[in-house]
Amino acid sequence: MNRSDSGCAEPHSYTLKQLGWTEEHAKTFSKYAGPYVPGRVSCRQKTVWDVFLEGKSVTAGISGALKKIGRFPAVGDFVVVLHQPEAGSDTIVAILPQKSVFTRGTSGREGTDQVIAANIDIVFIVTAAGHDLNARRIERYLAIAHASGATPVIVINKSDLADDPALLSKEIVPVASGIPVIPVSAVTGEGIARLSPFLSCGTTIALIGSSGVGKSTLINRLLDQPCQETSHIRNYDGKGRHTTTVRQLFVLAGGALMIDNPGLREVGIGTASAGIAETFPDILEHAAGCRFSDCRHEQEPGCVVLEAVKSGTLSSSRLENYHRLMRELAFEQEKASIGLVRSERKRWKGITKLAKEINKARD
């Protein structure tokens, strides 16, 4: 693999087209002129964002208007930047429409989803040989990946540590529902070439997975240079620590764009209802034959799904996880609707207060 001049090196020399800019983006941006320039968010720090502009990078804050409405750019977003180099000032003033948004549920009372990355084409769900190889966790990742609008690919890293690498996919393929499952070793390079079809020029890929599964090592292998700090999973419990602490976008030598993410200790299903059907197509296929159209597949008579479990054609653990995710999804949707009501009340309270102030000023 050729050495990439991207990674950590600044300044860069990429064109907007190389960063994924399309004619659709250009049409949306056409109403801006003067000191406004387009860019793509490459990294979010606590209060500032690194943005790739045409041929260079800047660090920018966001406008008061965006803060007021609680709209914060995510890594991968295409944004409008008020670029004032003579004043040494750059400010993100708008976020262009997103073609896909990768989110996960949060533990807050409002039930709002946390945006992980935007404008993603492919999601690499990275797991590892050993303790982390868990079919139930993969199903959860698949649900939020499908809901994002991006195409998921399951990558089983650290295949060099397995006694029989050929058997690594055996546990995962039954829950993958046709999604590619690719064992690799980011350390030795074994299997890395099988990722090439997904790394075409201009394609944006996000890496997600637990701490210590080797996402940063995989990034370094694909970049052919050490840009991300790495750590190891502990032998006694298979857990790792967060090595990557911020989301960051890299440009690979072949032109693909890749977003590394901190390890996700908790993967909330959020409001990803759109991803359930694509994650459990086998269950929904059986459900079409149930006696009742609103069958929950629990104790109802004439349930074809339960019959499939009894006959062994459907895994009981898979059905249990489906029920678990559906219950969690219902809870998150209720929480989100409550949060929306609170938000609306707060908004109308502000509008009423402003109206009173205006009337008072008139008097």
Which structural domains are found in the chain, ordered by start? 17-95 (2.40.50.140), 101-260 (3.40.50.300)
SS3 readout for 158-170: CHHHCCCHHHHHH
Per-residue pLDDT, averaged over 6-21, amounts to 72
Q: Which pair of tokens denotes residue 178?
A: 């046709």
pLDDT at 8 over 50: no
Strand 248-251 with 257-260, pairing = antiparallel
**Least trusted range by pLDDT, from 7-16, 287-296, 321-330:** 7-16
Instruction: Give the Cα separation of 48 and 323 in Å (integer).
Output: 41
C-alpha 199/C-alpha 213 separation (Å) is 20
Query: Residues 90-106: pLDDT tens digits?
Result: 999 999 999 998 876 55
Angle at 63 between CA 348 and CA 358, to 5 degrees: 35
d(CA 311, CA 321): 18
CB 92 within 8 A of CB 61: yes
211 vs 242, which has greater pLDDT? 211
Instruction: Kindly indicate the confidence band of residue 191, based on its pLDDT and cuts at 50, 70 and 90.
Output: very high
Instruction: Report d(CA 42, CA 51) in Å as an integer.
Output: 5
Which amino acid belongs to residue 289? G
Average pLDDT over residues 56-69: 93
Q: Is the pLDDT of residue 5 over 50?
A: no
Cα separation of 344 and 347, whole Å?
Answer: 5
Q: What percent of the chain lies above the pLDDT cut of 70?
A: 76
**Which pLDDT score, from 0 to 100, does residue 54 have?**
93
Tell me the pLDDT band of 7, cut-offs 50, 70 and 90. very low
Which contiguous run of DSSP H or E holds residue 14?
none
Report cis status (omega within 30 of 0) of the bond before 73: no
pLDDT, one tens digit per residue, over 69-86 is: 889 999 999 999 999 988
- What is d(CA 165, CA 159) in angstroms, rounded to the nearest whole number? 5
Rounded to the nearest 10 degrees, what angle do helices 304-311 and 316-362 cross at?
Answer: 140
